[in-house]
Amino acid sequence: MATKLIFLFWVFLLLLYKVKPDLDNVGPLLTQLTDGFNAEHNSMSLDDAVIDNNGVLQLTNESVQVDSHAFYKYPVKFKNSSSGKVMSFSTTFAFALINEHGNQGRYHFAFTISPSGALPGPYLGQLKARNDGNISDHVFTVAFTIRHPKFSDIDDNHVVVGLNCSKLSNKSVRVDRSLRRKNSLTLKSGHVIQVWVEYDAGINQLNVSLAQESDRPKSAFLSYNVDLSPIFKESMFIGFFASTDRPPSSSHYVLGWSFNINGDAKNLNLDKLRLKLPKMNGSKKNHPGLGLIVGVSVSSALVVILGIVLVLYNVRKLKKTDVVEAWELDIGPHRFSYEDLKKATKGFGDKELLGFGGFGRVYKGTLPNSNTQVAVKRVSENSKQGLREFASEVGSIGHLRHRNLVQLLGWCRRKCDLLLVYEFMPNVSLDKYLFDEPKAILSWEQRFKIIKGVASGLLYLHEEWEKTVVHRDIKAGNVLLDSEFNGKLSDFGLAKLYERGSNPSTTRVVGTLGYLAPELTRTGLPTTSSDVFAFGALLLEVVCGRRPIDHKAVSEELMLVDWVWEKWSLGAILDVVDSRLGGEFDEVEVDLVLKLGLKCSNHAPESRPTMRHVVRCLETKLALEEEDFMQSYPTTSVSVGDNEDIADVEDVLTPSFSVFSGDDR
């Protein structure tokens, strides 16, 4: 019996050893720093930096020509001992750069990984050596930089990836340019900004994301293909570096921090951390007669405040009024009251939020009188989809009726609040079932039904309604699925109506990267043929389960249409079918859809089929003539996002370094 107990005890210890987390990599960092830094039980090594009573790490103050750093005390094991390759890692932190004298001055702030907790030198990321040797190499930095005279900085609001202490950045990206389709960020604004730095060792890719919210953006604005294994040592120290140059200077704050090896860093509560940020204080000077001045000032201020309160009351009262202008009387769909929609969405609460993008937010709601579930699209005040696009969406969708178009039930406008009410689609959008980690794997039967449904809806827009409607933003994210997984086209905010037989007048290039026909970058004129091109991209991604442009793929598979065309030319077109289908699909149908996708992707608009021809092929499974199909040679097209200048195209498709500015939907 005793022998048995001893045996069980050793088995227990063995199991405990195998399942214990690898805390040797990061020490107690995950639980200590996410809500701020602890001054009493500090796990940071500080040099010219302090931790205040609120748990905020302050790297610099208003002094000039200051270099400071704060490193985590414990070394982090970055390399696998057997392979010598750097492991994946993830970190997120919240920081603020505050200058009480405005936006002047020159200064730097950086997240740093170095061989030791060394003293920083006079330049960004340039660390001094300790007495035990030179560490000028093996240093990694992601810096958030205000223009410095010692560097060839691209502007005063950019992010730098630096390797091996080089005074010149390895990769630099303008923050305002990369994020211009969202609320723009300014590093020196004094606002709290959250950063995500993630390295995927499997594909040697570094991603950096920025936001002023707690939720990480779906797309990184800086992606850099780099192998960090030659740069990193087996164990490294992680921390922050800050420096100031000339007056007026600034204060650098880090409010929270999380780090992890081979996993996602723990989330930060940005709302909670913002409360810890010190308030800016102006200079105080003693002045004779201060009491008299204060008394007169307070009395005057009260009069001014009273006037402001009265004005704000009247403005607020006016804003709550649902104003109806003359042009709105001609719009057909039902007009909801603002209060009804506010009640339906529980005050537009976060729990009812279905999604968001460049246009604003979409909320789930239940109409109070009928208990009907709806989706309420609330267009933001600063959205690029403003009153003109709003009127376009209401005016077009309101009169359209087709089983494969999302039905517009009504609308509402109250001053700057623009709201559209749609039928609710419980299975959300098609892209959630195709890419990344899908909600579920759609069978081929479901995919083929969705394809035919979307084709039918697009044919109705192009030829079967009284006017021609060009959708201009056909993609998986704009195909919604009802309870039976029927596909329905949505988001007509970019739709352009014109009388059949005439040419659209717009020259503004709109749409999504990977779906835009090549001629749009030259002419900017949307047509039914450019819609067909986007539909071709949709056909290929539904079959392949991949995006039109996959930056994680090998170079020969980067552009989906080129890869499919190459496989067809080699007689192996079925090799591109989504492996998650497990080989269970109709080969005739798959072959037809792929060939239609390539034909629709033809670089010459006149060589693309019409949607009527596409629908006929899908309904009858009509095989394409070989001679006809061989004329459809697709070419990789360079496309730009909504309102992006054509000149920006080269920046988007740089081979190893990408700047994304598409929407996050």
Closest residue by Cα to residue 602 from 517, 515, 544, 521? 517
607 vs 591: CA distance, rounded Å: 20
Query: 95: which 2 tokens?
Result: 């920081």
How many CB atoms lie under 10 A from the CB of residue 310?
10
3-state helix, strand and coil shares in percent for the chain, rounded to the nearest 5: 30, 25, 50
581 vs 543: CA distance, rounded Å: 10
Relative to beta strand 251-261, strand 222-225 is: unpaired
Phi, psi for 141 (deg, rounded to 5): -135, 145
199 vs 450: CA distance, rounded Å: 36
Contact (Cβ atoms closer than 8 angstroms) between residue 72 and residue 49 = no
First-last CA distance in the chain: 63
| H-run or E-run covering 492 | none
**Residue whose tokens read 């037989």:** 501
| Residues, the chain | 665
Query: 276: which 2 tokens?
Result: 């810890």
Q: Under the phi-then-psi rule, with left for phi > 0, alpha for psi from -120 to 50, and beta for the rest, what region is 73?
A: alpha
Q: Under the phi-then-psi rule, with left for phi > 0, alpha for psi from -120 to 50, and beta for the rest, what region is 642?
A: beta
208 vs 197: CA distance, rounded Å: 5
Tell me which of 473, 578, 591, 663 is the catalytic residue: 473
Residue 76: is it exposed, middle or buried by C-beta count within 10 angstroms (0-12/13-18/19+)? Answer: buried
Closest residue by Cα to residue 501 from 471, 466, 472? 466
Q: Establish whether 264 is a catalytic residue.
A: no
18 vs 178: CA distance, rounded Å: 44
How many CB atoms lie under 10 A from the CB of residue 511?
26
Contact (Cβ atoms closer than 8 angstroms) between residue 96 and residue 277 = yes
Closest residue by Cα to residue 536 from 634, 652, 630, 629? 634
**Four-point Cα dihedral 594, 596, 598, 600, nearest 10:** -150
**Angle in degrees, CA 370, 375, 378, rounded to 5:** 120
Question: Residue 455 is which amino acid?
Answer: A
Residue 115: is it exposed, middle or buried by C-beta count within 10 angstroms (0-12/13-18/19+)? Answer: buried
For 84-113, give the secondary structure using H, E and C: CCECCEEEEEEEEEECCCCCCCCEEEEEEE
150 DSSP 8-state letter: T
So which residues are the catalytic ones?
Answer: 473
